[in-house]
Amino acid sequence: MKNRMSRASLMETCQAMAKSNLTPGRSGNLSARATDIVGFVITPSGIAFDRMDAEDMVEVQMDGTILSGHGKPSSKWKLHAEVYKARPDVGGIVVCQSRYATALACAQVPIPAFHYMVAIGGGHNIRCAPYAFYDSPEFSENAVTALKDRRCALMANHGQISTGPTLDEAFELARDFENLCAQFWNTLQLGAPRLLSDADMNLVLDHFGRFKPRENTVLRRQFD
C-alpha cells in the first residue's frame, strides 16, 4: 500500500518531533497528504510522540471517515482537512505549541518585517489567526485565511501551524518559525523593532522564489 510510505514518513517525523523543543508532552499534531486516497494520514490523539508507531497513524478521508489506524485521529483533524482542501500545494502540516510561537499567539501579536527571514512564511509578515474553539468550523476557517499566500501562521491563544509540499519541509519550517518567534520576542524586550520596508522584503521574496517552498530551502541557506 502506498500509504505505508506516508505512515513511515509520519513516524520518522514524530520521532524527530519527540527530540525537538517544539512541543511539550502530548501536545501537537502532524499529518501528510495521502497518496492513494482523497485524504491524509494524521497522528493519533492522546499518545506521546515518542510512544507512537507506524500502525498508530490514522488514515482519514477529508470528511473524517477513518479508514485505518489504531485509536482516534488528532482532535485537530478538521483543521488539517480544511487546509488540504484549500491548499493543493500543501503535502504536510505541523501544528504545535512551541514556546515562543505560543507566547506571541497568546498575546495575539502577528510578526511584522522585523527581520528579512520573515520571508520564510511567504510574505511581508506572518499573520495571527483570530481565536476560536479548536473544534469549531471558525478555528479551521481562521487558520486557512491566515495561511492565504503564506506557509505558516500563528493561531491566537493556541500556537503555530506550518505547512510544506512535504511533511519534512513543514517540520523544517516549524523549527525555523519557532526560532524566528524567539528572535522577535527578544527584540521586543528592547522596544519597538525597526521594520524593513516593502521594497526590502520584495527583494528577499524574489530571491527566495515567491511562494515556491521547494526552492526556498536552497535559496534560504544562501542567506544564512
- 211 burial via Cβ count (<10 Å: 0-12, 13-18, 19+): middle
- 25 burial via Cβ count (<10 Å: 0-12, 13-18, 19+): exposed
Distance of CA 101 to the CA centre of its chain: 11
pLDDT at 50: 81
Pairing relationship of beta strands 29-33 and 39-42 according to DSSP bridges: antiparallel
- Ranges of residues in the chain with a pLDDT under 50 are 1-2, 213-224
- The C-alpha cell that represents 41 in the structure block: 494520514
pLDDT at 218: 37
Q: Give the H/E segment covering residue 9.
A: helix 3-19
Query: Hey, what CATH class is 3-223 in?
Result: alpha beta
pLDDT at 211: 53
Amino acid at position 109, single letter: V
pLDDT at 87: 97
Query: What's the pLDDT tens digit per position in 66-97?
Result: 998 877 999 999 999 999 999 999 999 999 99
Give the three-state DSSP class for 7: helix
Residue identified by cell 484549500 is: 86
Please state the domain extents for the chain.
3-223
The interaxial angle of helices 167-188 and 3-19, nearest 10 deg, is 30
Distance in angstroms (rounded) separating the CA atoms of residues 173 and 151: 8
**pTM (2 decimals)?**
0.90
The percent of the chain in helix, strand and coil, each rounded to the nearest 5, is: 45, 15, 40
- The C-alpha cell that represents 150 in the structure block: 503564506
pLDDT above 90 coverage of the chain, percent: 70
CB 154 within 8 A of CB 110: yes
pLDDT at 36: 73
Q: Give the H/E segment covering residue 217.
A: helix 213-223
Phi, psi of 94 (to 5 degrees): -120, 125
Distance in angstroms (rounded) separating the CA atoms of residues 138 and 116: 31
